[in-house]
Amino acid sequence: ENFSEALECVREGKADILTGITRSYSWGKECNVYLTNSYLEAPVALIAQSVDMQDGIRRLALPRDYYITGQLERQYGKEAITYYDSVEECVKAVSDGRADATYANSYVANSYLNRGEFRKLRLVELSVYAGNISAAVSKQCDPRLLSVINKSLNCVPNSKMDEILLNNMLKKRSMRPLQDFIYENPMDAVLIMFLTACFIMAVLAYIVWLKYRSERKIKETSRIDGLTG
């Protein structure tokens, strides 16, 4: 259901691999997992209502078990942070005004900000928190699995990794075309819904009229003789 549950499955050996992990040895040691070689560079981005809010952040939304949580707690204070189960919930909290900002790697952040409902949010990439993305491997697995994955990752050229990334980000965005259209074009969406409602009402009125005309014809036929009137 969320990242914390997935991480716990890897810790307990119920799952072997958890992907999309920022490569931090201290985090890996704390969570008791092996980390593979990195396969993607992803600077961390700040997501806020406006770029000017960087210096005025009082309420921060963070996903649980985030690798820079310790640094952000020291920067903002624990009382300023509210934890959520996913990055999406954090972004929604910022969009709804329940939080001033959140942090996510730039690829994840861009994929959410491409959605119509989050288009008004702003993103700032922060090189100070730049991270390399890797996979976490359960320590319950055969240690050779880590070696196999590292060798496999070393065989993937950067061009292929860019292709995989691009295809998946485009596919993810195309899954919400209707919602994005409504958020991006609210007036057009209202107009379309109004015209659709008018069309449906016209069709219903026509059906009622046909039924009324048919019933009237049946009554006339039952009472009036065609030959004598």
Distance CA 25, CA 29 (A): 6
Residue 22 confidence (pLDDT): 81
Residue type (1 letter), 106: S
Residue 200 confidence (pLDDT): 94
For residue 49, pLDDT over 90 is answered with no
Average pLDDT of span 93-97: 91
pLDDT digits (tens, 9 = 90+) for 63-90: 887 777 888 888 888 889 999 988 889 9
Residue 152 confidence (pLDDT): 92
Q: Which residue has the higher pLDDT, 19 or 180?
A: 19
Residue 223 confidence (pLDDT): 81
Residues above pLDDT 70, as percent of the chain: 88
Contact status, residue 39 vs residue 154, Cβ threshold 8 Å:
no
For residue 19, pLDDT over 80 is answered with yes
| DSSP bridge partners of 123 | 47
Residue 161 confidence (pLDDT): 84
Q: What does the block give as tokens for 211? A: 């039924």
Number of C-beta neighbours around residue 17 at 10 A: 17
Average pLDDT of span 31-40: 89
Q: Which of 44-58, 100-114, 125-139 is predicted most confidently?
A: 100-114
Residue 118 confidence (pLDDT): 85
Burial of 143 (0-12, 13-18, 19+ CB in 10 A): exposed
End-to-end CA distance of the chain: 76
Residue 184 confidence (pLDDT): 63
Give a three-class secondary structure readout of 23-70: CCHHHHHHHCEEECCCCEEEEEEEEECCHHHHHHCCCEEEECCCCCHH
- Confidence class of residue 194 from pLDDT cuts 50, 70 and 90? confident
- Confidence class of residue 56 from pLDDT cuts 50, 70 and 90? confident
For residue 204, pLDDT over 90 is answered with yes
Contact residues for 192 (Cβ-Cβ < 8 A; gap 6+)? none
Coil, helix or strand at residue 156: coil
Concatenate the DSSP letters of all residues of 162-222 into one string. Answer: HHHHHHHHHHHHHT-HHHHHHHH-HHHHHHHHHHHHHHHHHHHHHHHHHHHHHHHHHHHHH
Average pLDDT of span 209-226: 83
Residue 54 confidence (pLDDT): 57
Of 51-65, 119-133, 178-192, least confident by mean pLDDT is 178-192
Q: What does the block give as tokens for 131? A: 């991270």
Q: Which residues of 174-197 are buried (b: 16+ CB within 10 A; e: fewer)?
A: eeeeeebebbeeeeeeeeeeeeee
